[in-house]
Amino acid sequence: MLIPIPPPIRVLGSPGLLLLFLCLAPQPMLAQQPFATHCAGCHGGDGRGTAKGPGLAMNPRIAVQSAEQLRAYLQRGNLSAGMPSFADLSPADLQALARHLLRLNVETIVPPAPAADAARKTTWGPPQPGDWRSYNGDDSANRYSPLKQITTANVQSLKLKWVFPLQYFGLEVTPLAADGVLYVTGPNQVYALDALTGNPLWSYSRPLSPGMVGDARLGTNRGVALLEGRLFFVTDNAHLLALDRATGQLLWDSPMAPASDEKHHYGGTIVPLIVNGTVIAGVAGGDEGIRGFVAAFRPDTGALVWRHWTIPRRGEPGIETWQGKEPLYGGGSTWLTGSYDKASDTLYWATGNPWPDGDDRDRPGDNLYTNCVLALDATTGALKWHYQFTPHDVKDRDATEPNVLVDTVYQGKPSKLLLHADRNGFFYVLDRTNGKVLLAKPFLRRVDWASSIDAQGRPVVVDPRGCPSDAANWDSTAFSPLTGLYYLIALEECTGKPTGYPDQTGQRYLRALNIETGAIVWELPQPGAARAKTWTGVLATAGGLLFYGRPNGGFAAVDQRNGNTLWNFPTNVRMKASPMTFTVGGKQYVAVAAGPNILCFGL
């Protein structure tokens, strides 16, 4: 088993540099001799290394960096590798050391010629059946793969092939796979990996942005989008970047939000979606106060194509549902990647809670277009229809759960469906051509905030602050045409005292639902008390398998028909990501993020 260990996450990536940083004392450095004063004891006066530390002179990895990159690395540190941040040093001190490192390298050696592997092809073939080229594998948001080399009969032989560790512990990324390369992300960083070995081919990173809030401050990122020779990535401060797919070089950087004097807490955690040759993305920050939007951008320049606001202003449709103050910061975040129906050119996008989420004194009414699925014209961004799962939300019941598009026979006739298991505890089947509710049934044993969904699709509210508030979440779900069942991870959080989770009564379940009736066909309890922010998604395959992450530590495969566990790999870390599958060299693999690692499995 090959487990390649990559260089440290940040730009420099040399273990010797970590020792350099550990030798530095957090005190003002003399501009004339910072290296001699603080580092020569470990690395030698000439920087060529001693028994205490490796050489830093004649180091090709340092030679290719700029003074600003070196200074930024010193400033932010690398805590997971034991290196503290040196942000308390003055800018002059940091810059003086960075320049000395460059003098030991750039002025004394010629950077080596690129290795053969670095010159990977810059023209790309058409998509292949075994690729995983978008966040959910295809535009429907249904994590169902037609790959069937790994089956219920041979899954017991599945083995770990490689591990790629990142610096960030709580990875939520879903890798993309195309042309023998996986693309993965961490906080403000992108890696290209050899799909067979996990060896890094290139990386891109930038410092975390100051002043962020919510998940953006945590560094949450779920992946990149791919279009021909470019990758598209959203930073923590809601900038959309284009990177050269072959090298990781930054091509352009475009702020997603328009310039404004208003203080919005926009953040970025989303994977963009490629539709009609445009890059479509949304924003996070609804829990802190924003005016949410979905926007489309040109892939060649980052220029805005269209923008659809989720919170109306005075004179706009929907403002009548905000009967108090004008909702300048009404929420309605759009941080979950949408789904797309090519036949009707319709984009389906989820929206989050209103703001303030718990204090509703200044926002009587339904508060459109929060807690909705929006059906948008993908070419113009115009609204075709909407459905609001939880009008006037007071319990942070974001509707940012997957909107899965399925064409199947439903109630005896061919139908175009949208499947959605909402945070409010109801499982919905909508006619995606018009938003009509065909089915709305609880998928939890206890739902007491509403007794039912009426014939017009509105909840019959009993207690707006009742349970649940987090029955499902953003993690992937799947519908399998092999069984006709819909699979998801559910949280029963209303089984004990109403204090929410994590508590000893909360329980997660892997559940299979009958989409005709909403009934639970089978379920698999997840061991251990439910913990916050450990949602992990599912992946169904044509091999009859359902892969999923056990939230409290483990990656498993079960039989789609009955939930019997066929294979399990103990990860021993909390799981927060959704799995994917791909082929390379004619063989099928399965990959998932677990804690700080990308894991790849194969037969």
DSSP state of 267: B
The enclosing H or E element of 280 equals strand 278-282
Q: What are phi and psi of 42, to 5 degrees?
A: -95, -40
CA gap 198, 505 in Å, rounded: 40
For residues 471, 530, 563 and 603, what is the CA-based torsion angle, rounded to 10 degrees?
Answer: 120
Looking at residue 4, its amino acid is P
Vertex 468, ends 462 and 472: CA angle to 5°?
135
Helix orientation angle between 91-103 and 67-76, rounded to the nearest 10 degrees: 130
Q: Does the annotation count 362 as an active-site position? A: no
> Across-strand partners of 174?
none
Positive or negative CA dihedral for 423, 289, 169, 592?
A: positive
| 519: number of Cβ within 10 Å | 12
* CA 161 remoteness from chain centre: 23
| 508: number of Cβ within 10 Å | 25
Q: What are phi and psi of 96, to 5 degrees?
A: -65, -45
Q: How many CA atoms lie within 13 A of 392 on its CB side?
A: 21
CA gap 281, 296 in Å, rounded: 7
3-class SS string, 83-132: ECCCCCCCHHHHHHHHHHHHHCCCCCCCCCCCCHHHCCCCCCCCCCCCCE
| 364: number of Cβ within 10 Å | 12
* Joined tokens for residue 515: 């989409």
SS3 at position 405: strand
Q: What are phi and psi of 116, to 5 degrees?
A: -60, -40
Q: What are phi and psi of 118, to 5 degrees?
A: -70, -25
Vertex 227, ends 264 and 408: CA angle to 5°?
90
Query: Which is the catalytic residue, given 396, 398, 422, 475?
Result: 396
Q: Please enumerate in sequence order all residues whose Cβ is within 8 A of that of 235, keeping only pairs 6 or more positions apart, or say none.
A: 188, 206, 209, 241, 268
| 30: number of Cβ within 10 Å | 11
| End-to-end Cα spacing for the chain | 12
Catalytic residue annotation: 396
